[in-house]
Amino acid sequence: MTTSRETDWMNHPAIRRLVAEANQLSLAERITLVKGLVPGIADQLTAREFDGFVADIRLKGERYNEAKMHPGQGRRTRLIPGERDLEGRQR
């Protein structure tokens, strides 16, 4: 879930446990879970921030699919930018 010093604060055992448990659900159940979280997230963000959140989720999926299609090639060869690229963080 996190792979850099800048996001190491997110390396929380309770979150990892929840993600591991959620990943044991069926695809339909996981989608329902995500949809169930959206209203609470949207309520705490501005419309612009929520649009950014949705864009981040899309980018995460695109980045994951690209990595799956090109295993072992590393991030430098990928076309879809990752969070580090967009935020200007060091690799």
Report domain extents, the chain.
1-44, 46-91
The predicted model scores a pTM of: 0.66
Task: Tell which residue, 32, 45, 83, has the closest CA to residue 62.
Answer: 83
What is residue 75's predicted lDDT score, i.e. its pLDDT? 66
Residue for token pair 């990595």 = 67
Query: Where are the alpha helices (H) located in the chain, listed in sequence order?
Result: 13-22, 27-43, 47-69, 83-87
Which region holds residue 74: left if phi is over 0, alpha if psi is between -120 and 50, else beta? Answer: left
Q: What is the pLDDT along the chain (91 residues), one digit of tens a residue?
A: 555 676 677 778 888 899 999 999 999 999 999 999 999 999 999 999 999 999 989 988 888 888 888 777 766 666 665 555 555 555 5
